[in-house]
Amino acid sequence: MESDLDLFDSHCHLDFDAFDGWRDQAMRNARSAGIRQILLPGVTAQHWPRLLQLCQRPSQTVANYPLLYPALGLHPCFMTEHRPEHLGLLQQRLVAGEALAVGEIGLDFFIPDCDAQAQQQLLEQQLLLARQFDLPVLLHVRKAHDQMLKTLRRLKLRRGGIVHAFSGSEQQAHIYIDLGFRLGFGGVISYERATRLRHLVATLPLESLVLETDSPDMPLSGWRDEPNRPERVADVLGVVAQLRAEPARQIARQTTNNACAVLGLAGG
Ligand SMILES: [Zn+2]
pLDDT grade for 268, boundaries at 50, 70 and 90 = low
Q: Is 216 within a domain?
A: yes
Task: Tell me the CA–centroid distance for residue 74 and ligand 1, in Å.
Answer: 11
DSSP string, 107-128: EETTSTT--HHHHHHHHHHHHH
Q: Is 66 within a domain?
A: yes
Does residue 244 come out as left (phi exceeding 0), alpha (psi in the -120 to 50 range) or beta? beta
Q: 259 and 8 in contact (C-beta within 8 Å)?
A: yes
pLDDT grade for 245, boundaries at 50, 70 and 90 = confident
In this structure, of 46-50, 148-152, 219-223, the range with the lowest mean pLDDT score is: 219-223
Judge whether residue 161 has pLDDT over 90: yes
Q: Is 268 within a domain?
A: no
Burial class (CB within 10 angstroms; exposed 0-12, middle 13-18, buried 19+) of 162: buried
Task: Tell me the CA–centroid distance for residue 225 and ligand 1, in Å.
Answer: 19
DSSP state of 16: S
What's the sign of the alpha-carbon dihedral 81, 87, 88, 94?
positive
Judge whether residue 1 has pLDDT over 80: no
Judge whether residue 141 has pLDDT over 60: yes
Q: What is the mean pLDDT of the chain?
A: 94
pLDDT grade for 58, boundaries at 50, 70 and 90 = low
Residue 12: domain span:
7-263
Strand order in the sheet with 161-164: 7-9, 35-41, 67-72, 101-108, 137-142, 161-164, 181-185, 209-211
Q: What is the pLDDT of residues 104-125, one digit of tens each?
A: 999 999 999 899 999 999 999 9
Task: Tell me the CA–centroid distance for residue 159 and ligand 1, in Å.
Answer: 20
Distance from chain centroid for Cα 145: 16
Average pLDDT score over residue span 10-14: 97
Judge whether residue 62 has pLDDT over 80: no
Q: Is 94 within a domain?
A: yes
Q: Is 124 within a domain?
A: yes
Q: What is the pLDDT of residues 14-46, one digit of tens each?
A: 999 999 999 999 999 999 999 999 999 999 999
pLDDT grade for 59, boundaries at 50, 70 and 90 = low
Q: Is 97 within a domain?
A: yes
Alpha helices in the chain (DSSP H): 23-32, 48-56, 84-95, 116-132, 145-155, 170-178, 195-203, 233-243, 248-263
Q: 26 and 14 in contact (C-beta within 8 Å)?
A: yes
pLDDT grade for 226, boundaries at 50, 70 and 90 = confident
Q: What is the CATH number of the domain that holds 85?
A: 3.20.20.140
E strand or H helix at 71: strand 67-72
Judge whether residue 57 has pLDDT over 80: no
Domain count, the chain: 1
Which pLDDT belongs to residue 60? 59
Residue 164, C-beta contacts closer than 8 angstroms, at least 6 positions apart: 10, 11, 41, 103, 104, 138, 139, 140, 184, 212, 214
Task: Tell me the CA–centroid distance for residue 213 and ligand 1, in Å.
Answer: 9
pLDDT grade for 198, boundaries at 50, 70 and 90 = very high
Task: Tell me the CA–centroid distance for residue 168 and ligand 1, in Å.
Answer: 16
Q: Is 1 within a domain?
A: no
In this structure, of 17-21, 61-65, 244-248, the range with the lowest mean pLDDT score is: 61-65
Q: Is 43 within a domain?
A: yes
Q: 224 and 255 in contact (C-beta within 8 Å)?
A: no
Three-class secondary structure of residue 10 per DSSP: coil
Task: Tell me the CA–centroid distance for residue 1 and ligand 1, in Å.
Answer: 30
DSSP state of 2: -
